[in-house]
Amino acid sequence: MKRGRRGSACLQTVALGRDPDPKGKPGRDTQVHGLGKRQMGIGPLVRSRPHRVVQGQEVASRLDVEVTAGPGAAVPLVPPDGRLPVLAPGGCQAHRADEHPGPPDSLHVPSHHGQDPRLRPCQKTYVRVGSVRYHANDRRARPCLRNGSLLLGPRLTMDLFIDTFFENASPLRWERSAPDAVDMDLIADHERMSPNCQMTHWNFRIHVPPAAVGEALRIRFRPVASCWNGRPGSALKREPLTSVVSPDGRTWQAVPMQDAADEGFAKEMRVPLVGPRTHVAHLVPYNDTDLQATLRDLAGCPDVRVYPIGASVEGRSLEMVEIGAADAPGQVLLRARAHPWETGGSWVLEGLMRQLVSPAAADLRRRLCVCMMPMANKDGVARGLSRFTVTGVDLNRGWSAGQLHDPVLCPENACLQSWLSDRQRQHRLPRLAICLHNDDGGNLHLSHPARDPDGYACRMRRFEELLRAMTWFTEGTAHAGFVNSGSFGEGLCEINGVDALIYELRACHAKGLGRTPMPADWMELGRALAFVLDRYCATA
C-alpha cells in the first residue's frame, strides 16, 4: 500500500475476484477504488449486475461494496433487504439478493430520512480482503463456508471511538478489525538505564452511538514484553486476569479476560456496552482528582494535618496526611501508589482516613497517629503509567544505607527520605511502616533486618494474625527466601531501624472475598486496618 505525506492512505485498487456472467460468458474482473479510512468505515459503494446460484439459493443482481484500503482492509456488504449476501470463491466478490431501482450505472447509497448514511448506523457485514480470516457477526447466522463460498448474515455496524485523552488514561494503539472487535497494543513504560519494563495498566473509554448500547465489543490485546528485576517475561500471561467496566465512572463490574483464540494475541474479553460511554480499566481508577476531593472532606476534622513534603518531577504537590495526636504513643507510616497502576492502596487509605476521622475513633486518635503519603507517583498516575516515574525511576527501589535519592531525578523518594530524617532527629520515627501495592499474589513481603531479626519476625507474625482476624486478608507471607533488595521495606529497616514491610494487595481475585475486589472492599479493609494498627502498636 502506498502512503502519502504524514502516513495518510493513498488511493488504492483492491481486487475483488471474478464477476460471473449470467449468460455463461467469461467473467470480467471487478475492482473497487477507495480511500483507506478503516476506523470510520467510509468508502465508495459499487454496483454489479450479474447473478449466480449457490446451493440452490438464487443470490443475484447488484453488488454493493464499501472498501477501506490497506492490507486486511474491511469490506462492508450492504443488503438493505436483510437477506444473506454471498462471497464468491477466489476473492471478495459479493452479491445482493435484490434489484434496487435506479439508473443502471448509478451508485446506490443507503440513507435514513435524507441523512448522510456515514453519520448513521446501517446494516453492514465486514469482510477482510486478502485474509483467510473473515469477521462477521449476525446473531441469526454465523459465517460459514459452503462449496468454497462464505455465507454472511447482516449486522448492525457499530461506530465507535476509543478515548485515551483524560487523567490516568493509558497510552495505547487501537484499530477496528471487525464490526464488533477492536485490537489493541498496550504500551509498557521503562526503567531508566535498565532493561526493566512493565505494562499492567489499561484505562480507556469506549464511545458508541445510542443504537449500539446493549451490544458487546470484543477486545483483543496483542502480547506485551515485560522485564522485572532483569528477568524477561510477558505482561499478559498472568492468571486470573480481569478488567472492570462502568457506564459512569462510579459503578463498576468485573469482566473476566481469557487467553486469545487467535494467533498473534495474548488476551481477549467481551465488554458489555452499558451506555454511550463505557469506561474500561484494569483496576477501578483512583486519581489525584479523587484524592483532592477526599482531602477537602477531611479539612476541619479534628486531629487532621495535611501538608506538602515536596513536589514531583512535573511539579505536583506531594502531601503527607497525619491523623491522630502528634504525641500519640503509636506512630505508623503508610505509603501508596509508588507504582501508578496499583489503585488498591489508594482506596484502602481512603477507607482508613475516613475511619480515623469518625466520631467513634476519638479515643483511637489519642493512642495512634497515622502518617500517610497517599499518592507517591503523581506524575505516573496522571500520565497513565504502570510502574515507573516520568524519569524512569522505580520508587520501590534505591532504599539502601548510604544511598541518597536524587532530588532531581527522584524528588518523590528524596522528600520522603528527608521527612524520615527529620522524624529521626525529633525521636518520632514510626514504629511500623507499610508500603501498599497490588499484585497477583496478595502476600506480605517481609524484610530481613540485620538488627533484631528474631524480634522483627515475631512482631510481623503478630501483625499477620491481626490482619487475618480483623480483615478479609487470607493470603499470607512470601516465602522466607524472597529478598527484594533496595525496596521500601528492606531500606527503612536498614536505614532507620523501622519495622517495615510491603503489603501486596491482591488485584484480580482476593481469596478472602472469592472474587475481584472492588472499591467498597478496599475501603472496608482500610477501615478495619485502623483497628489492626491500634492493636499492633498496643502489643508490639
pLDDT of 79-131, one tens digit each?
Answer: 333 333 333 333 333 333 333 333 222 223 333 333 333 333 333 333 332 22
Given a cut of 70, the residues of the chain with pLDDT beneath it are 1-158
C-alpha cell at 44: 465508495
Query: For 9, which DSSP code?
Result: B
Q: What is the DSSP letter of 236?
A: T
Grid coordinates representing 214 are 446493549
pTM, 2 dp: 0.74
Chain Cα centroid distance, residue 183: 14
8 A C-beta contact, residue 112 and residue 20:
no
All three cell numbers of 111: 440513507
- The CATH code belonging to domain 302-539 is 3.40.630.10
Amino acid at 208: V
Residue 328 grid cell: 500519640
Q: What is the DSSP-derived secondary structure letter of residue 210?
A: G
Q: Residue 304: how many CB atoms within 10 A of its CB?
A: 17
CATH number of the domain located at residue range(s) 161-281 in this protein? 2.60.40.3120
161-281 and 302-539, same CATH topology: no
Strand 74-77 versus strand 123-128 pairing type = antiparallel
Report the candidate in 449, 533, 515, 455 with the shortest Cα–Cα distance to residue 483.
449
Q: Provide the pLDDT for residue 492.
A: 97
Domain ranges of the chain: 5-156, 161-281, 302-539
Assess contact for 89 and 99: CB atoms under 8 A. no
Which value, to the nearest 10 degrees, does the dihedral of the CA atoms of residues 390, 392, 395, 400 take? -140
Q: What is the pLDDT of residue 15?
A: 30
CA-CA distance, 303 to 12, in Å (whole number)?
70
Residues with Cβ < 8 Å from 457, sequence gap 6 or more?
Answer: 446
Report how far residue 330's alpha carbon sits from residue 463's, in angstroms, rounded to the nearest whole number.
14
Looking at residue 158, what is its pLDDT? 57
pLDDT for position 532: 98
Q: Decide the pairing of beta strands 61-62 and 181-186.
A: unpaired
Total count of residues recorded for the chain: 540
Write down the pLDDT at residue 211: 87
Please report, in angstroms and rounded to a whole number, the separation of the first and last CA atoms in the chain: 70
Rounded Cα distance between 439 and 345, Å, is 11
Q: Residues 380-406: pLDDT tens digits?
A: 999 999 999 999 999 999 999 989 999
